[in-house]
Each structure stands twice: as structure tokens, then as C-alpha cells.
Structure 1
Amino acid sequence: MSTAQPARRFFFILLTAATILFALVARPLASALFLAAVLAGVLWPAHCWLSARFRGRRGLSAAAFVLGVIILLMGPVVAFSAFAIKEGSEGVRYLSQAIRSEGVTGLVERLPQPLAGLAKRGLDQLPAQDEQNLGKTVQKQVSAQGGKAAAVVGATLSATGALVFQAVMMLIAFYFLLLQGDQLVAWLDHLSPLKRGQTRELMAEFKKVSYAVLLSTIITSAVQAVAALLGYFIGRVPHPIFFAGVTFFAAFIPAIGAGAVCLVAALLLFATGHPYSALFLAIWGLLVVGLVDNLVKPLLIKGGMEMNGAVVFFALIGGLSAFGAVGLLLGPLVVTLFLSLLRMYQRDFKTAV
């Protein structure tokens, strides 16, 4: 008895130390592992169906899903980069030719009226010699920087190395969870100190919430893109389909949001001499497109969860504030865990007084 007690204490000290070290090891990859687990849980039925079509070759099915996720992630990035390089190169070429043939004054006269007046007043403050030198300087700088447009975009993409690393880790974890996810769930259920079946019950709740959040996010982003597309057509934004596509993917990023794309398009309209269309699009983006996210998403999530709509709304806002972008998933999951544990306690542990 006397030797068992110190051994028990030492064991719990080792267990605590190992838990802390494990948390430190997992912390850098926590977001990637969490997203991989959510995707694997949501896509598990489709994975089982595809595995059956591949005659039980689960590795081939998992690889197909990983390839699909890569295409969904990289497709928009490649398309947007190609568009930015093309438009940027054409803009630099246009500026260089205009300055070479007509000078700064001729370029200013081509500007839309809201910008032309400001530029002319600025040029009027300069002596003629300074204006001539300004034209040569601008032409020289534009020509020098024109060839660097692609390099700037490449440098911007390379600066996202941490994001790429997290994405790669997420894809690797996603593959192995699809390959051996059922074995992992069985092992956790066996290892968990909860009653047999309770761990699976919690995971089933997590799966249901994850599915509801992901589906609602996709539908909400699509609705926002359609609403923004209508505004782009009314405001006569150039390349409206492209801007609608950017709006769809920007809606997945809380730090940007769909409304930000509408504001960028409004600035483009203002710079090209359409102030009233720009004002309309800015108001449309803030009121119509912005409110879709706050109204539609909680309603859709509520439809897939046994939770009050107000609780869903504050779970989304609180999760976003506490955990960042991943909080849109983690917030409702934390609330679901809390409510599920209360329900288990009421059902399995509470004794009649």
C-alpha cells in the first residue's frame, strides 16, 4: 500500500508531462489536423461508396479525394494569378505607350473625370520643366517595373509558405484518416475512459455539426456570389463572372469576406469614371451581400443541428473571435461538446435524489 501510492503519483506526473509534450508537438499542426478530421468525417460515406466501386481499394479512393481537394484549392489560386499577371502586364504596357506617345499630360486627359481633375490640378502646381522630367521619370519607372510584374506575383505566392505547409499536412492527414479512420475511431472508443459507446456518440455529434457547418458555408458562399453577380451586372462591372468567382472563394475567408470584393469592384468603377455605379455597388455589397452571411448561415446550420438559432449565431461569432477562421467550425463544435456532455450526464450519471 505504501509503495503503490508513490508509484501512482509518479505515473500521473509522467502522464501529465507526456500530455503537455504531446500538446506542444501537435500545436503547430492543430489547425491542419482539425480540418483533415472534419473533412474525413464529412466525406466518409462518399469514401465508403467510392471504395466499393473500386472493389475495396480504399487507398485509391482516398487518393482520389485528396486529388479533388487539391484541384479545389489550387484551381482558383492559379486562375486568379494568371488573370492578375495578364491584366497587370496589359496595364503596364498601356501606361508605357501612352506616356511615350503623349506624355503625362496626354495620359491625364485619358483619365476618368473624377481622377482627371485631381491630376490636372496637381500638374498645374509643377513648373513646365518639372512636368517634362516627371514624364520621363514615370516612363522610365513603368518600363523598368513592367517586366517585374510576374516576379512580384511569384514572390507574393512564395511568401505563403506557411500556408502551403499547413495545406500539405492537412492533405496527408486527410489521406490517412480516410484510409484508417474507422480503426482510429475504434481505438479511441476502446481507450477512452468514458462508457463504451459514448465516445462514438460524441464523434457522431461532431460529424453532424461539421457537415451542417460545411454545407451551410458552401451554400451561403454560393448565395453571396449570386447576389454579388447581380450587383456586378447592374453596376456594369468589367469581367462580372470573374469577380463573382472571386467573391465565392473570398466568402470562405472571414478576414476578407464577400463584401470586400464588392468594395474593390466599386473602387474600380469609381476609378473608371462611374461614381454612381460605384456608390450603388458599395451599398449593395455591404447591405445585401454582407447580410446574407449573417442571416442565411445561422439558419442553415440550425436546420442541421438540434440547437437554438441564437446559440448557433453566438457560437459562430465567439469561435471566430477566439480561434480565427477555423473558429467557424470549432465554435459550434465546442458548444456541441458542452451540450452533449450535459445530456450524457443527465442521462447516464445523474442519480435520482
Structure 2
Amino acid sequence: MATEKVARRVFIGLILLSIALVFWVASPFFEAFFLAAVLAGAFYGLQTWLTRRFRGRRGLAAGLICVGTILAVLAPLASLTAFIVSEIIEGVNFISTTVEQRGLQGLLTYVPGFLQEPAGRMLERFQTESAGVWTTVQEQLSTRGASAAQTVGGVVATTGSVVFQTVMMLIALFFLLVQGKELVAWLESVSPLKRGQTTELLAEFRSVTKTVLVSTIATAGVQAVAALVGYLITGVPVPIFFAAVTFFFALIPAIGAASVCVVASLLLLATGHPVAALVLFIWGVVVVGLSDNVIKPLLAKRGMHMHGAIIFFALLGGLSVFGAIGLLLGPLIVAFFLAVVRIYERDYGRPSTRLGDPGTPPLNKPTVAEGEEWEPTVFHPDGEGRPSH
């Protein structure tokens, strides 16, 4: 018969095995669950306020937050898509009308002066070889049809995966908003840590994630304003729209706000404004692009209580290791380390020997003869200790 000690070790092994299996099953939804936990922590105050307003209906409050999250993501995408489609339609109509009225040569009048000569040569070559263009296109389509279909299939699969993960994230967010308190209480009850330590770690995570989200949105706003200044100075058409697009792309680490400035500078170059295009390119790369590496650590420093350099390397390290989600994971890992060290030092560390700390025994005065008064010794620069008077 197994002893109590052996049975306990076996049971601990079973617990660790079950935890590993749970993480294995949940691994396909890691990003969705992680983002849901981050948003649930960030929306905790809003969820509490809405629950009070709706007289304790936590489900209604959570549903409203989920709908707002969907609108916050879909509205910019829908606006950007609608603008791009309308511009493409307008451009196609312009080209077709110009070709019908003035022929292909009429398009050269709208090309900037320094590009008219190469554009004219390309147009002449196109007219000369136009007879075999359709045959060439058909040959290319037949030979590359399989690779093109594979590429399109990959894009469709990626889009479907993003949609699926988003749906899973919204479902998890709803349940975390509704049952978040019960989940934290359960984790506190089953955790092997001391009472209150698990809740303290979760509160630290919530504080860090909220700070990262707020600093990311604020940094994107600052970059959009800086880009808007550049758009107004250089005369970019529809500057407010480009500033809104800059804000949206500033939230995407793989693209960044500077990419929109580069596209706008190319637009200025194509319309015959090379000086303005160069100014906007430099402004976008130097001011708009690099401001992210300066503003975000400064804003995050206040909420995380870390040194700015630690936050800077945590953001970059998390981004390089985990991708876009590393902007949250990097600071969380560092905050977890610092919180664990702080809790260990407070609850298990050696007693402090600093004067004035609670629990520090008072210093004993030197023994003096009866009837004498003790006087502190003052050390003078000459190295001799003399009683002070």
C-alpha cells in the first residue's frame, strides 16, 4: 500500500499532467483566449459601471461591450475599403473616358514631366506588341494557374483563420466579462500560493495590459497627429482620411504608421511634386516612424512602474519572439518576473535591517556607568572620535 507521501507525489504529477493536457487542448485558441483575457481586464471598470447602470445585468453589459469591440474593429476597415473601392472606380472611369475621347496618347498629358518620356516609350512598346499581349496572358495564366490558385487558397485560409480566432475571442471575452469575478475567486481558492498572492499577480497583469493598451492607442494618436501635420504641409489630398488610415495602421506593428506616409509621398511624386514627396518621406520615417519607440515606453512607464529602458526592450523582445501579440506578452513576462520577486521578498525574504522598518529591533545604547549620561560619538575629519557637546 502506498504511503501518504508517495500518494501525494503521484497526485501532484497527475495535476501537472492535467494542466499540460489542458494547455495542449487550448493551444489552437491561445491568441484568442489571451486577447480576450487582456480585453476583459482592460474593460473591467467599464463592465462594472455598465452592470450598475443595467441593475446587475452583467450579460447585457458584456454583450454591449462585445458589440462595441466589433464596431471598433470593423468600422475603420469598412471605411478604408469603401474609400479604396470608390477611388479605384473613379480612376477606372477617368482612364476609360480619357482613352475614348483622346486615345492612349491623351493619358500622357496627366503624367509628370520627368516621367513623360519613359511613359511614352512604354506606351509605344505596348502599342507595337499589343497583338501578342492576349496570347502571352493566356500562356502565363495556363502555366501559373496552379500557383495562383494555391496563393488564393492560402489567402482565403488565412482570412478564415483570422475570422475564426476573432469569433473565439469575442465568445471568450463575453464569458470572462460575465464570470470574471467567479473565475478569479476559484483560482484564488485552488492556487497553492498564499491567500491573496494569486489575486495580486492577476491584478498586476490587469494593470500592465491596461497600460500597454492605453499607451498603444495614445501613441497611435500622436503618430496620426504628427502625420497630419506632414500631410497638411506637403499638400496631400484628403489629409484627414490619410491621418485616420495612419492611426489604424499605427496599431499594426508589422506595418506601422510610417508606411502610410511613404505611400502618400509616392502619391505626391506620381502627381509631379518631388520636393513635397521627399519632405513627407523624411518626415514620415524620422518623426512619425521613430516616435513610436520613444513615446510608447514613456507612456507605459507610468502605469508599469518600470524603467523606460526595460519597457523598451520588453516591447521589442516580445515583438521579435511572439510577433504582434508580443507587444503585450513581452511587458507581461517582465512584469510577472518583477511581481514574483517582489512578493517573495516581502513574504519570504530575510527581515530588513534598515532603521525604521517594522520589526527591526532598536539599536542598543552603549552601557554607561550609573549616574553618567550617554553622549553620541561624532567622527571628525581628522579620524578621531570625540564626544559631541
TM-score when normalising by structure 2: 0.80
Give the corresponding residue for 1:130. 128
Q: Which moved more, 1:279-288 or 1:103-112?
A: 103-112
Rounded Cα–Cα distance in structure 1 between residues aligned with 2:218 and 2:130: 55
Give the corresponding residue for 1:182. 181
Give the corresponding residue for 1:349. 348
Cα deviation digits, residues 51-104 of structure 1 (max 9, x gap): 111111111111111111111010001111111111111111222222233222
> Does structure 2 retain, via aligned residues, the 8 Å contact 1:103–1:135?
no
Give the corresponding residue for 1:284. 283
- Give the counterpart letter for 1:305 in structure 2: M
Q: 1:205 to 1:159 in 2, by over 3 A?
A: closer
Give the corresponding residue for 1:113. 113
- Give the counterpart letter for 1:346 in structure 2: E
What displacement does 1:272 show? 1.2
Rounded Cα–Cα distance in structure 2 between residues aligned with 1:262 and 1:2: 71
Q: 1:159 to 1:2 in 2, by over 3 A?
A: closer
Q: 1:134 to 1:283 in 2, by over 3 A?
A: farther
Give the corresponding residue for 2:312. 313
What displacement does 1:135 show? 11
What displacement does 1:42 show? 1.5
Rounded Cα–Cα distance in structure 2 between residues aligned with 1:136 and 1:18: 62
Q: Which has the larger helix fraction?
A: 1
Give the corresponding residue for 1:50. 50
Which of the pair has more CA radius of gyration?
A: 2
Rounded Cα–Cα distance in structure 2 between residues aligned with 1:276 and 1:239: 19
> Does structure 2 retain, via aligned residues, the 8 Å contact 1:99–1:135?
no
Q: Which moved more, 1:332-341 or 1:10-19?
A: 10-19
Q: Are 1:67 and 2:77 counterparts?
A: no
Segments of structure 2 that go 5 or more residues without pairing to the other structure are 136-153, 353-389
- 1:167-178 maps to which residues of 2 (within 5 A)? 167-178=166-177
- 1:1-353 maps to which residues of 2 (within 5 A)? 2=2, 7-8=7-8, 10-123=10-123, 126=125, 130=128, 160-351=159-350
Q: 1:117 to 1:173 in 2, by over 3 A?
A: same
Identity across matched positions, percent: 54
Give the corresponding residue for 2:377. none
Rounded Cα–Cα distance in structure 2 between residues aligned with 1:247 and 1:120: 35
Displacement over 4 Å in runs of 4+: 3-10, 131-137, 155-159
Rounded Cα–Cα distance in structure 1 between residues aligned with 2:155 and 2:275: 34
What displacement does 1:2 show? 3.7
> Does structure 2 retain, via aligned residues, the 8 Å contact 1:224–1:248?
yes
What displacement does 1:255 show? 0.2
- Give the counterpart letter for 2:44 in structure 1: W
Cα deviation digits, residues 10-61 of structure 1 (max 9, x gap): 5445434323321222111111111111111121112111111111111111
Rounded Cα–Cα distance in structure 2 between residues aligned with 1:72 and 1:198: 35
Q: 1:136 to 1:186 in 2, by over 3 A?
A: closer
What displacement does 1:167 show? 1.3
- Give the counterpart letter for 1:26 in structure 2: A
Rounded Cα–Cα distance in structure 2 between residues aligned with 1:269 and 1:17: 60
- Give the counterpart letter for 1:172 in structure 2: I
Give the corresponding residue for 1:152. none
> SS of the residue aligned with 2:103?
helix
- How many residue pairs get matched? 335
Q: 1:334 to 1:266 in 2, by over 3 A?
A: same
> Does structure 2 retain, via aligned residues, the 8 Å contact 1:228–1:262?
yes
What displacement does 1:108 show? 2.2
Give the corresponding residue for 2:386. none
TM-score when normalising by structure 1: 0.88
Root mean square deviation of aligned Cα? 2.4
- Give the counterpart letter for 2:252 in structure 1: I
Rounded Cα–Cα distance in structure 2 between residues aligned with 1:95 and 1:263: 25
What displacement does 1:116 show? 1.8
> Does structure 2 retain, via aligned residues, the 8 Å contact 1:114–1:271?
no
Q: 1:305 to 1:5 in 2, by over 3 A?
A: closer
- Give the counterpart letter for 2:170 in structure 1: L
Rounded Cα–Cα distance in structure 2 between residues aligned with 1:134 and 1:107: 22
> SS of the residue aligned with 1:304?
helix
